[in-house]
């Protein structure tokens, strides 16, 4: 199971995540977001950091020219598209770099999910599924939501995230054996506050997964 941590805000956080052997880190390039990376870190600070972690640029309905420029400036490894980007737009980006396409789910319904992804199978490399924040129910259990995924055959590996995952879900997620399940995406449920990732929670999640392995 791969782990992606989003919304980092300092080079120090990058190094901390790299030491935890996290596979992916998300850099938010949505100007309207409180996590907008340019408010915290300069491109030179990131590109000069000697880390093995893969850098994912997170965009929301950004112009293609801006995305391509940012790829070069921040030496990005993947692009995550969180907006209403069309399949044609995704294809244009994926011709240059690997793409994670995010889908906001109002309901974990087999038909609804299949309708959302059907035009994207040939134009991106990964899916990321998260519950729509407008209808997010923090009491929902992820093991209930993910049961529906067992009835769906995906053409791409997928991440689960977007507020669905809590520390208590580590054991269940590790045992979730859908053949296309690729990893988890940590965001607001693994933050001390909107400005700081909770590295103790992230480390505890990883330790629980490792204990399940053993």
* Region for 202 from its dihedrals, namely left if φ exceeds 0, alpha if ψ lies in -120 to 50, beta otherwise: alpha
* Region for 68 from its dihedrals, namely left if φ exceeds 0, alpha if ψ lies in -120 to 50, beta otherwise: alpha
For every one of its 214 residues, what pLDDT tens digit does the chain have, with 9 covering 90 and above? 899 998 888 999 899 889 988 899 999 999 999 899 999 999 999 999 999 999 999 999 999 999 999 999 999 999 999 999 999 999 999 999 999 999 988 777 888 899 999 999 999 999 999 876 555 444 455 655 677 888 898 889 999 886 666 667 777 777 788 899 999 888 766 776 666 777 788 888 778 776 655 4
Helix (H, G, I), strand (E, B) or coil at 20: coil
How many structural domains does the chain have?
1
Q: What domain range includes position 131?
A: 2-213
Whole-structure pTM value: 0.89
| CATH code for the domain in which residue 183 is found | 3.20.20.70
């Amino acid at each position: 199971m791969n782990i992606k941590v989003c919304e980092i805000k300092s080079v120090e956080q990058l190094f901390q995540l790299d030491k935890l052997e996290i596979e992916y880190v998300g850099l938010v390039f949505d100007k309207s977001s409180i996590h907008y990376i340019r408010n915290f870190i300069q491109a030179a600070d990131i590109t000069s950091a000697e880390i093995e972690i893969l850098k994912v640029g997170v965009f929301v309905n950004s112009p293609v020219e801006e995305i391509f420029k940012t790829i070069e400036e921040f030496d990005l490894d993947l692009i995550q598209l969180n907006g209403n980007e069309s399949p044609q737009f995704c294809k244009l980006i994926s011709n240059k770099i690997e793409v994670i396409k995010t889908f906001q789910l109002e309901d974990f319904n087999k038909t609804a999910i299949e309708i959302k992804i059907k035009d994207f199978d040939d134009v991106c490399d990964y899916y990321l599924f998260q519950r729509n924040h407008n209808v997010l129910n923090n009491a929902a259990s992820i093991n209930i939501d993910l049961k529906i995924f067992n009835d769906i055959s995906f053409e791409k590996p997928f991440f689960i995230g977007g507020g669905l995952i809590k520390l208590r879900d580590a054991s269940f997620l590790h045992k979730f054996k859908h053949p296309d399940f690729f990893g988890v995406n940590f965001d607001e449920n693994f933050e001390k506050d909107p400005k700081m990732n909770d590295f103790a929670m992230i480390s505890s999640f990883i330790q629980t997964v490792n204990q399940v392995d053993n």
